[in-house]
Structure 1
Amino acid sequence: MRMILMGPPGAGKGTQAKFVADHFGIPAISTGDIFRFNVSEGTPLGVEAKKYMDAGEYVPDEVTNLMVRNRIDEDDAKPGFLLDGYPRTLAQVEELDGMVKFTGHELDAVVVLTADADELVARLLQRAQVEGRADDTEDVIRRRQEVYAEQTEPLIEVYRDRGLLVEIDGMGDVDDVTGRIFAALDAVRQS
């Protein structure tokens, strides 16, 4: 299974990615996790990424594309992968198309978690307190939502037109959302 998990910041992508990846026996590849690791280690990529992340902006495509290309080339991603946080722009969709085509495969599904914007802000502010994420202020969170609406929401139509889109209500109990995702993906695999 080669899939993308999309949704606005705070929709539960990271939580659901772990369950879905485990279910299908594929790695969950999160650009956010890779960025945070590099920031904490103080790598050149981390220093560059931190400037954008602190402002609530997307890290430039050239940095993100290289990172994703390297990661999906690793052995554990040969049977499949789940991308969380990538692609985020139309240019990244084209880049990913090339990466996947190069391996002789294609995407199986694009799952989009939908959620109420104000509920997401409340979730993220709560997470910021619990996890000590100083960069998650309300202004930065709202800016991330704006950036998502401007740059990432158009991707939903691209994948809908390709017949890959699976929309899932991301609100409610984690287990309920996971169940909705599994049911939808099982239907995709059987079709």
Structure 2
Amino acid sequence: MRIVFIGPPGAGKGTQCELLSKALRVPHIGTGGMLRALEPDRGEQIHLRIDRGHFAPDEFVLQMVAKRLAQPDSQTGYLLDGFPRTQVQASAFDQQLIADSVKLDHVLHLQVSADVLIKRLRKRGKTEKRADDAEECIRERFRIYEARTEPLLDHYRQQGLVRDIDASVSEPLVHASIWERLHPDALAIDPAAKD
């Protein structure tokens, strides 16, 4: 399967991708982690943008993702976490899918209230020491998400791909809900859980 995860910061995209990656045996491709892992001499300016709650430049992200999707483990499917984040990225990705003669299967929209998200991000900022989870960045990240990423839901709803998921509940319940949406005729238990 080829799946895009969309949701505000702190919605649990990375956690759910890790769980689903094991169940579906496809790679979890998290652009946030890829950007944070850049060497300082390659991405100093990008690191500064991310630490302030802003997005990396579209062209840079598109090149980075295209290179990752060309790797052998991505040929049978992937889970995209943090991409696309802008209309420019979504449109370019649409064209790339057409060129590759493949299509997306689902866009999973993780929905969580602002109060819950802020609480989660404050906790993560303390435990993981991520600069972009510092309290002064949180509201800026929400503002940018609402302005630039939320509109992508309309883009993908027009393609009939969006599956809304209540991500305010516990991680296992969110995972079960996702599995039911992907496999409506199956029990809400993924194959990996039986191993």
TM superposition score category, shorter chain reference: over 0.9
| Ranges in structure 1 where 5+ consecutive residues have no aligned partner | none
Tell me the TM-score normalised to structure 2 length: 0.92
Question: How many residues are aligned here?
Answer: 186
Which residue number corresponds to residue 40 of structure 2?
42
Q: CA deviation at 1:152?
A: 0.4
The answer to whether the aligner puts 1:180 opposite 2:177 as a matched pair is yes
Identity, % of aligned positions: 38
Q: CA RMSD in A?
A: 1.4
Q: How does 1:40-189 map to 2 (within 5 A)?
A: 41-44=39-42, 46-187=43-184
Q: CA deviation at 1:131?
A: 1.1
**Deviation per CA, 1:31-67, whole angstroms, max 9, x where unpaired?**
00101111xx3241x2131121121111110110000
Q: Look up the equivalent residue of 2:121 and give its one-letter code.
A: L
Q: Look up the equivalent residue of 1:33 and give its one-letter code.
A: G
**Deviation per CA, 1:49-86, whole angstroms, max 9, x where unpaired?**
11211211111101100000000010000001110000
Tell me the TM-score normalised to structure 1 length: 0.93
| Change over 3 Å in CA distance of 1:188–1:32 after alignment to 2 | farther
- Deviating beyond 3 angstroms after TM superposition, the runs of 4 or more aligned structure 1 residues are none
| Ranges in structure 2 where 5+ consecutive residues have no aligned partner | 187-195
Contact 1:109 1:188 in 2 (8 A): no
Give the Cα–Cα distance (whole angstroms) in 2 for the partners of residues 127 and 137 of structure 1: 9
Q: Look up the equivalent residue of 2:115 and give its one-letter code.
A: D
Q: CA deviation at 1:187?
A: 2.9
Q: CA deviation at 1:101?
A: 1.6
